[in-house]
């Protein structure tokens, strides 16, 4: 009796299992932190406030690590606004956001890049590399504008597909700037949500949400069009 299993498929199974375990770990972490809220953000904020002049740097580092384990970014940004006000708080939030993107992308690359390439094969890996070279930076920027997508989860995925760290850093900075201002400003004006700052923040949020929805729609239509041109998607 001969073994008819495809050797290439057999070699892929360990990599599929590795990626599945990594994804399950991230989803479990997401549930514990983002859904069950096992981390008390208010307690973290009070602890940081006691560090005095170093508080902005301490909060930047701690919130970057917390966001990497899926503590909701809006809560961390609002905490930055409460602690440091709208101006300094926005810069702290942006610094934390960029640091989180780098941490998640680096971990995603270490955990999943080799396995992803084996599973995709050399042809698809080469296509993805080419797309990253051409559009990687703007893919990161665009993802940050699309509502409802976890920035940390997206950064892990970008890292697994080999996104260069410089593209992650610049893309996260550009794409996250509007929302960083929005949530930080809302946190800074939490005691008076009828203030002009709060109205400006809500207006910026509405604009970014519309831009994000438009970008997602355009991206989906572009993907469908390229798929039909390549023959991988049926025509309607």
Tell me: the pLDDT tens digits for 50-83? 898 999 999 999 999 999 988 889 999 999 999 9
| Percent of the chain at pLDDT exceeding 90 | 33
- Give pLDDT, residue 8: 54
Name the residue ranges covered by the structural domains of the chain.
7-230
**Other Cβ atoms closer than 10 A to 1:** 3
- Give pLDDT, residue 98: 97
- Give pLDDT, residue 37: 72
Cα separation values, 63 from 41, 52, 77, 114, 117, Å: 9, 17, 9, 29, 32
Question: For residue 36, what is the DSSP state?
Answer: S
- In this predicted structure, the answer to whether residue 213 has a pLDDT above a threshold of 80 is no
**Under DSSP, is residue 197 helix (H, G, I), strand (E, B) or coil?**
helix
Residue whose C-alpha is closest to residue 81's, from 59, 102, 99, 61: 59
- In this predicted structure, the answer to whether residue 30 has a pLDDT above a threshold of 50 is yes
- In this predicted structure, the answer to whether residue 1 has a pLDDT above a threshold of 50 is no
- Give pLDDT, residue 222: 65
Tell me: the pLDDT tens digits for 119-177? 667 776 777 777 777 778 888 888 888 877 889 988 988 888 888 999 999 999 999 99
- Give pLDDT, residue 2: 47
> Bigger pLDDT: 19 or 206?
206
- Give pLDDT, residue 169: 95
- Give pLDDT, residue 85: 92
**What is the model's pTM?**
0.78
- Give pLDDT, residue 100: 96
Q: How confident is the model at residue 9 (pLDDT cuts 50, 70, 90)?
A: low
In our burial notation (b when 16+ CB lie closer than 10 A, e otherwise), range 190-200 reads eeeeeeebbee
Which residues touch 55 (CB under 8 Å, ≥6 apart)?
A: 48, 49, 83, 84
> Could you give the maximum distance between any two Cα atoms of the chain, in Å?
79
Query: If you average pLDDT over every residue of the chain, what do you get?
Result: 82
């Amino acid at each position: 009796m001969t073994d008819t299993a495809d050797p290439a498929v057999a070699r892929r199974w360990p990599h599929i299992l590795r990626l599945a375990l990594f994804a399950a770990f991230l989803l479990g972490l997401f549930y514990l932190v983002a859904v069950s809220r096992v981390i008390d953000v208010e307690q973290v904020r009070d602890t940081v406030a006691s560090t005095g002049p170093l508080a902005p740097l301490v909060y930047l580092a701690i919130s970057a690590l917390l966001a990497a384990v899926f503590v909701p970014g809006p809560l961390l940004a609002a905490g930055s606004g409460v602690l440091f006000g709208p101006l300094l708080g926005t810069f702290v939030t942006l610094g934390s956001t960029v640091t989180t993107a780098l941490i998640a992308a680096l971990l995603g690359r270490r955990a999943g890049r080799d396995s992803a390439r084996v599973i995709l094969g050399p042809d698809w890996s080469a296509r993805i590399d080419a797309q990253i070279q051409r559009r990687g930076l703007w893919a990161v920027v665009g993802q940050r504008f699309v509502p409802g997508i976890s920035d940390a989860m997206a950064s892990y995925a970008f890292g697994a597909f080999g996104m260069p760290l410089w593209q992650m850093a610049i893309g996260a900075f550009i794409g996250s700037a509007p929302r960083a201002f929005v949530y930080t400003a809302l946190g800074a004006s939490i005691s008076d949500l009828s203030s002009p700052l709060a109205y400006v923040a809500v207006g910026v949020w509405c604009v970014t949400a519309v831009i994000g929805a438009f970008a997602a729609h355009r991206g989906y239509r572009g993907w469908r069009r390229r798929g039909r041109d390549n023959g991988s998607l049926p025509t309607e």
